[in-house]
Amino acid sequence: MDTVQFRNLMRHQAGAVTIIAVGKAGNRTGLTATAMCSLSDTPPMILICVNKNASAYGPIKAAKCFSVNVLAKDQQDLAKRFSSKKLEGEARFDQDAWITMRTGAPLLRGAIANLDCELADEHVFETHSIFIGRVKDGQFHEKVEPLLYFRGDFWDLKKA
């Protein structure tokens, strides 16, 4: 199967939109991703898939921690900002919109859920790595609706 055909197939799987972030204030970076899922609850672990060319790839390996921030339906502009090539690194972050918890990774205020993760393992493949994160802390906002990605576009539950 070629890359184009595979991408077209995968566009038909709706996914939660997340921002994966890493680094300390002044030296942060991150990316928009849908490739995240839970791995286990004992211990609490998740996995993320990150392209080796992504700006966050090396910093995640170096910092040994990262956050996953599940975006709310009103955070589409942030999803676009963190996927754009026009802005990179610290320029993607609004100073007052981010906090930290146990690992020191940046966590987005107003997200549906924030997972503060310590890097537990990495599985390397051709273009991407699977990073396994041990969830050290987190928070959620129950009354906030999700931002979804489906067929190459952002959706919310009302649009569906």
pLDDT in tens, 10-23: 888 889 999 999 99
Question: Using CB atoms within 10 A of its CB, is residue 96 exposed (0-12), middle (13-18) or buried (19+)?
Answer: exposed
pLDDT digits (tens, 9 = 90+) for 22-31: 999 999 999 9
Is residue 119 a contact partner of residue 107, using CB atoms and an 8 Å limit?
no
* Chain-centroid distance, C-alpha 10: 18
pLDDT digits (tens, 9 = 90+) for 25-77: 999 999 999 999 999 999 999 999 999 999 999 999 999 999 999 999 999 99
Residue 142's beta-bridge partner residues? none
pLDDT at site 159: 58
Q: Which helix (H) or strand (E) holds 29?
A: strand 29-33
Please tell me the distance from the alpha carbon of residue 117 to that of residue 120, in angstroms, as a whole number: 9
Please tell me the distance from the alpha carbon of residue 117 to that of residue 65, in angstroms, as a whole number: 6
Please tell me the distance from the alpha carbon of residue 66 to that of residue 21, in angstroms, as a whole number: 6
pLDDT digits (tens, 9 = 90+) for 95-139: 889 999 999 999 999 999 999 999 999 999 999 999 999 999 999
Please tell me the distance from the alpha carbon of residue 52 to that of residue 31, in angstroms, as a whole number: 12
Q: Which two tokens stand for residue 3?
A: 């890359």
Please tell me the distance from the alpha carbon of residue 129 to that of residue 148, in angstroms, as a whole number: 23
Which of 7-11, 114-118, 151-155 is predicted most confidently?
114-118
pLDDT at site 7: 87
What is the CATH class of 3-155?
Answer: mainly beta
